[in-house]
């Protein structure tokens, strides 16, 4: 549990510095230790949104909603991911 919290805090620090790739790596390490901790998934989803990785963000949010079906952050970030995917689809149609 101590290692999990250290990794999560490091991930949070990377987010504050705008280092989203590094934060993703820390949150992913956390998930290897605990797959049921929803905040790590919603935090990683935020990073994926910042990196324009909408499908990955959606998958993280879907995972959270399987565990906590009323998680507001997961609903909100999944909606942002869907919005990003729609914009990307429209841009691809125009090419």
Position 9 pLDDT exceeds 80: yes
The long-range contacts involving 16-25, CB below 8 angstroms and separated by at least 24 positions, are: 18/50, 20/47, 20/50, 20/51, 21/47, 21/51, 23/47, 24/48, 24/51
Position 95 pLDDT exceeds 80: no
> Which has more pLDDT, 23 or 93?
23
pLDDT of residue 92: 65
Total count of domains within the chain: 1
Q: Which domain holds residue 34?
A: 1-93
pLDDT of residue 40: 97
Assign residue 46 the CATH number of its domain: 1.25.40.10
Q: What mean pLDDT value characterizes the chain? A: 93
Position 20 pLDDT exceeds 70: yes
């Amino acid at each position: 549990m101590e290692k999990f919290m250290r990794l999560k805090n490091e991930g949070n620090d990377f987010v504050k510095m705008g280092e989203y790739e590094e934060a993703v790596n820390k949150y992913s390490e956390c998930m290897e230790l605990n797959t049921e901790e929803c905040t790590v998934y919603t935090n990683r989803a935020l990073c994926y949104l910042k990196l324009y990785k909408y499908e990955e963000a959606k998958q993280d949010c879907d995972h959270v909603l399987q565990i906590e079906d009323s998680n507001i952050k997961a609903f909100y970030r999944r909606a942002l991911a869907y919005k990003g995917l729609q914009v990307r689809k429209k841009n691809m149609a125009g090419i």
